[in-house]
A = this chain, B = another copy of it.
Amino acid sequence: MRDSHNIRLAVIPGDGIGKEVVAEGLKVLDAVGLKAETTTYDLGAARYHATGETLPEETLAELRGYDAILLGAVGDPSVPPGVLERELLLKLRFELDHYVNLRPVRLYPGVETPLAGDHSIDMVVIREGTEGPYTGAGGVMRRGTAQEIATQESFNTAFGVERVVRYAFEKAITRPRRKLTLVHKTNVLTYAGDLWARVVERVSTEYPEVATDYCHVDAASMFFVTQPERFDVIVTDNLFGDILTDIGAAIAGGIGLAASGNVNPSSVGSASWAPSMFEPVHGSAPDIAGQGKADPTATVLSIAMMLDHLGLTAEAARVEKAVADDLAGRQVAGITRSTREIGDDLAARVTG
């Protein structure tokens, strides 16, 4: 897909532990030995307080020019809820049309799960990233009075649903089990659910090799805890995907290991191409920020996803193997390492 091993990367460390994990991620990326040119953007809470800016238009335009974006985490209690999330993180996802939010849920050997018994967990949640209840549409009337009404709108389009569903089928046929589960709440959210169900049914006829089923979001959340083996590829809406992937992170060893890609799958050079953005699922965790306690593994796995997305599959595999090996040794070692120590160890493993 790319013929040069030269990547231009925009880095947004963001807030809290975002900065710490990104530093380690870049250390590991460096160890891969690519010619990676990185530019750091100071978006996040500090910038917001200093200038009032969240994501200036010129910065957004500049970001479009990179091969990919690496993001740490955004959000801080000093900023009103929603400001950085909506005006920075979600704005990037929406403006760069990251319609595939790719979140593997995989229990690596050696990693402890909070679930009892033996589990073999290996699924990919494909969360729609640009519509559903995340558009921000809605409003408030008579705010602060006893007659206040607040609404939120979920928008779902055939265009938006079909493209992510197609991506999910394409992912499912590459996997040994070839199973795709639609997760929604069709019995209550009947309009949106009906659209999702019809699109999945229609597209499924083009993929007879893929076994397709359906699960309500409440039941799916339960099955993540009782029978995660049930799932291979899941396709779901933006909000359900948000919830499911946090449960997924929990069962696969914790939020410190969960990687994600906000992917715009359009081909390089096409009119709709834009850089994809890779980020750990965890947030900025202000409670442990600056203490070297955060696990940079999720960021490093997000970098592996990024390399894979950029067609650098061998490099991606090296990074993932470094993580897998490190995780396999953790229980044995039983020592607690700092953010930097884990980064150093992973970088050393990548160097080989």
Contact = CB atoms under 8 A, between A and B. Distances in A.
Contacts of A112: 116
A148 interface: yes
A120 interface: no
Interface string A197-237: 11000000000000000000111011011100000000000
Interface stretch (A15-23, A248-256, A305-313): A248-256
A55 interface: no
A111 interface: no
Interface string A53-94: 000000000000000000000010000011001100010000
Given A113-B116, A154-B152, A90 B188 contact: yes
Contacts of A116: 112-117
Interface residues of A, number: 68
A158 to B, nearest CB: 4
A314 interface: no
A38 interface: no
Contact of A247 (B75, B194, B221): B221
A147 B158 contact: yes
Contact of A114 (B148, B157, B225): B225
Interface string A164-202: 000000000000000000000111111111110110000
Given A114-B225, A157-B149, A218 B195 contact: no
Contacts of A325: none
A121 to B, nearest CB: 13
A239 B197 CA distance: 19
A152 B191 contact: yes
A150 interface: yes
B149 A185 contact: no
Interface in A247-286: 247, 249-251, 254-255
A90 B185 CA distance: 14
Interface of A: 75, 81-82, 85-86, 90, 112-117, 133-134, 136, 138-140, 142, 144-159, 162, 185-195, 197-198, 217-219, 221-222, 224-226, 239, 242-243, 245-247, 249-251, 254-255
